[in-house]
A = this chain, B = another copy of it.
Amino acid sequence: MRESIPISEIFGPTVQGEGPLVGRPTVFVRTGGCDYRCAWCDTLYAVLPEHRSEWMLMTPAEIARRIDELAGNDPVLVTLSGGNPALQPLAPLIELGHAKEHKFAMETQGSVSSPWFKELDWLILSPKPPSSHMTTDWDALDACVTVGRRGLHRVLKIIVFDDADYHYARTVSTRYPALPVYLQVGNPAPLKHVGRRLPDEAEIDDLLARFRWLVGMVTADRWFAATVLPQLHVLAWGNRRGV
């Protein structure tokens, strides 16, 4: 029997709000459990063990059925997120999904690598910058980057709140020059509401000011290979879940 997977939520179709697939319709599968505790984590309900009772244990077949249901049985981009989805044995789900012509993108911090990553269509590595208060395990990240398969799109997505984060992003990018880099403006809402539910509304002006700042950093540095994006879903739907 195939192993069940702790699922925090499955929702969509909506559009991906971040990274290389920004604007693309997708169904999100969010696994429960994480090896990180980022200072500004916006999905603690999928991270902290005290939320475990809210997670559903689902078999790959059950997850695949829910994806098909949400997508009306049409092929769709599936985004595997978390928590850290890399902790879960997701190969059977990907295999089932590929049989239905779904594509799979996984977002992970790159702290854990696994051979099944090569089954993905997109591997979006999001190592966490200093503002997260997490420490990068470079050997683990190296191992994630070298997961190989022709046709697997591997990219870096790095959240930037401040100068230190920006310099971290440059360091990561220098270490992996072959990988496209997406810089993403940080959302400070979780820092302002520690231990509480995030307000539905985002502070749009603040987020756009952060975006302008990051664009200014990148263009002043002539870092023309980087792509700078805000979190589109936060602009459009605020801090609400399920969109």
With a 10 A CB-CB cut-off, give which of A72, A224, A235 has the most chain B CB atoms. Answer: A224
- B23-A222 in contact (CB<8A): no
Indicate with 1 or 0, residue by residue over A183-226, a CB within 8 angstroms of chain B CB atoms.
00000000000000000000010001001100100110011101
Contacts A208-B236, A235-B208; A224 near B23 (Cβ below 8 A): no
> What are 17 A-B residue pairs whose CB atoms fall within 8 Å in the complex?
A14-B215, A15-B215, A15-B227, A22-B23, A22-B227, A23-B229, A24-B224, A25-B218, A71-B222, A72-B222, A76-B222, A77-B224, A204-B208, A212-B236, A215-B236, A229-B232, A230-B236
A156 at the interface (CB under 8 A from B): no
Contacts A208-B236, A236-B211, A236-B212; A25 near B219 (Cβ below 8 A): yes
**Hey, which chain B residues are within 8 Å of A226, CB to CB?**
25
Q: How far is the CB of A122 from chain B (nearest CB, A)?
A: 14
- B74-A224 in contact (CB<8A): yes
Q: Chain A residues in contact with chain B, CB under 8 A?
A: 12-15, 22-25, 71-72, 74-77, 182, 204, 208, 211-212, 215, 218-219, 222-224, 226-230, 232, 235-237
Cβ-closest chain B residue relative to A225: B25
**Hey, which chain B residues are within 8 Å of A74, CB to CB?**
222, 224
- A13-B219 in contact (CB<8A): yes
- A25-B237 in contact (CB<8A): no
Cβ-closest chain B residue relative to A216: B14
Q: How far is the CB of A175 from chain B (nearest CB, A)?
A: 20
Cβ-closest chain B residue relative to A19: B23
- A224-B13 in contact (CB<8A): yes
**Hey, which chain B residues are within 8 Å of A76, CB to CB?**
222, 224
Contacts A215-B14, A215-B236; A71 near B25 (Cβ below 8 A): no
Cβ-closest chain B residue relative to A74: B222
Q: How far is the CB of A243 from chain B (nearest CB, A)?
A: 9
The CA-CA distance from A228 to B222 in the complex, in Å, is 28
Q: How far is the CB of A74 from chain B (nearest CB, A)?
A: 5
**Hey, which chain B residues are within 8 Å of A12, CB to CB?**
219
Q: How far is the CB of A184 from chain B (nearest CB, A)?
A: 9
Checking B75, B224, B230 against A71 with a beta-carbon cut-off of 8 angstroms, the contacting residue is B224
- A230-B232 in contact (CB<8A): yes
